[in-house]
Amino acid sequence: MNIYVGNLAWGTSEDDLYDLFAAYGEVTRATIISEKDTGRSKGFGFVEMASDEEAQTAISGLDGSDVGGRDIRVNEARPRPERRQRY
């Protein structure tokens, strides 16, 4: 399952995100989204977990919790809407 994690502190690393979710089960990938030009975090990321059950437990356990001085938002990621092609 793919999980959205929002309101992250700017200094949160992908390793921090991985470790945070690993307490709830097997993490297959943790990614912080950053700006193309500066490389600075956009304050959100995604975590993929191997088991839907473990992912739901992580969502319940972490949503609204304080991480790095900020209350993070954690929920199941929605599929990205298709973008119309420009000609």
| pTM for the predicted model, two decimal places | 0.88
- Over residues 1-52, the pLDDT tens digits come to 999 999 999 999 999 999 999 999 999 999 999 999 998 999 999 999 999 9
Name the residue ranges covered by the structural domains of the chain: 2-76
- Over residues 38-52, the pLDDT tens digits come to 989 999 999 999 999
Is the pLDDT confidence value at 87 over 70?
Answer: no
Distance of CA 37 to the CA centre of its chain: 21
Arch. (CATH architecture) of 2-76: 2-Layer Sandwich (3.30)
Q: Which long-range contacts (CB under 8 A, 24 or more apart) does 28-36 make?
A: 32/8
